[in-house]
Amino acid sequence: MSEYWNNRYAAKEYAYGEEPNAFFAEQLQILKPGKIILPCDGEGRNSVYAASCGWEVQAFDSSEAGKAKAMQLANKRNVHIEYVIEDAFTIKYLENSVDAVALIYAHLPVEVRARLYNQAIGWLKPGGRIILEAFNTNQLGNSSGGPKDLTMLFNEQIIQELFGTLQTELLQMVQIELKEGEFHKGPAEVLRFIGIKL
């Protein structure tokens, strides 16, 4: 899988643009900056934005090419991010250590997703939140991005199974117009979720 992403991120241009995901940016604007983890962070557009808003950022991905471009973007924006190359199935952070975990288009095979998302809950301090935007199960007919494997997409039931221990603040399936670089462009069916650890 890292080879796939290294190829995607090999071009000079940023595959998903240099600006943050709109929903993620909107959520950060209403939160007091603290510590945040960004799994599957790719070229760093979201972690760099979080750092620019005063967050202490820890990010990871399996792609060396993604990390290189993330650090390049951080230097360009004059911010600091901690970014490691790590597998989503084996990554470890301290329990109860962060204020937010942002899962922005973190599409993974079912068994990897279940493990990572369960761990993400553990990383949160009480009162911490999951911020998630991903393609929902209606996305398959669209050309605006995302995996072509139905099991890697989301619906409300899947979210409730993965995050049932959290208090749901927002859970919605919506159609949006994506404008995130070359590979997230056009009408898209997404799921948005905010969950708070009690």
Q: What SS3 string covers 57-78?
A: EEEEECCHHHHHHHHHHHHHHC
Give the model confidence (pLDDT) of 89-147 as tens digits: 999 999 999 999 999 999 999 999 999 999 999 999 999 999 999 999 999 999 999 99
- pLDDT (tens digit per residue) in 141-194: 999 999 999 999 999 999 999 999 999 999 999 999 999 999 999 999 999 999
Contact between residue 16 and residue 180 where contact means Cβ atoms under 8 Å apart: yes
Total domains in the fold of the chain: 1
Domain span at residue 156?
2-196
- CATH at 110: 3.40.50.150
Residue 27: CB partners within 8 Å, gap ≥ 6? 131, 194
Backbone φ and ψ for 16, nearest 5 degrees, come out as: -115, 20
